[in-house]
């Protein structure tokens, strides 16, 4: 039995699994590109931004973050724009920006997690349905026993089960890889944000006590 025949006879389960596969591939490629662009040399970035802030050149620091175009830089840029409002406001800006960046990084992970559990079940369901059809066809024959019918349905059962497991494994492996990468990126965000706050505390004596109403700056 070739692939076309398998799809024709067992497509009701194989086609959904193939759909999940192509969606998973799309998500994996998209997520890989997004995470590749989000990578930044944290040590180099931190040293450069610390040097700029020690000179109290906030506009230059914001411009540098804009040029970097990474999640860490986006978070710092949003926080540094609140530098005149004091330490608390800046930390709040860091936190809100971090939540948005994390949501962007995690987009698509739920799909991979779902497929890692769903496709093996779809494969098993396809196997059960194929074997059920084989049993019903054999029951209809009664007197004559044709192994060809059983073999054809077994091929479909094995193919759908194997395909479902393969797609599930691929989704699970990349989900774990992306989740660990995002976790590391989040840790880097926290480290850099803490470094910046420490620099401002040391460089600007009144920074920690400065709390300006945002309306006063308008």
For residue 170, the model assigns a pLDDT of 94
For residue 143, the model assigns a pLDDT of 58
- Is 151 a residue whose pLDDT tops 80? no
CB 75 within 8 A of CB 193: yes
Mean pLDDT of 139-145: 64
Higher pLDDT, 58 or 212: 58
- Is 8 a residue whose pLDDT tops 60? no
pTM of the complete model: 0.76
């Amino acid at each position: 039995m070739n692939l076309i025949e398998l799809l024709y006879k067992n497509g009701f389960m194989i086609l959904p699994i193939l759909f999940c596969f192509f969606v998973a591939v799309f998500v994996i490629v998209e997520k890989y590109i997004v995470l590749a662009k989000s990578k930044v040399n944290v040590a180099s970035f931190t040293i450069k931004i610390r040097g700029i802030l020690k000179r109290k050149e906030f506009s230059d620091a914001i411009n540098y973050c804009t040029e970097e175009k990474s999640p860490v830089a986006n978070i710092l840029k949003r926080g540094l724009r609140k530098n005149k409002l004091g330490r608390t406001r800046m930390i709040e800006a860091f936190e809100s920006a971090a939540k948005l960046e994390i949501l962007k990084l995690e987009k698509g992970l739920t799909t991979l997690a779902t497929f890692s559990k769903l496709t093996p079940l779809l494969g098993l369901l396809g196997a059960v349905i194929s074997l059920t059809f084989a049993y019903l066809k054999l029951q209809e024959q009664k007197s004559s026993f044709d192994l060809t019918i059983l073999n054809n349905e077994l091929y479909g059962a094995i193919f759908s089960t194997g395909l479902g497991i393969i797609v599930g494994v691929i989704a699970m492996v990349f989900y774990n890889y992306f989740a660990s990468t995002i976790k590391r990126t989040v840790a880097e965000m926290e480290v850099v944000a803490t470094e910046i706050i420490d620099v401002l505390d040391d460089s600007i004596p009144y920074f920690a006590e400065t709390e300006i109403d945002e309306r006063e700056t308008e």
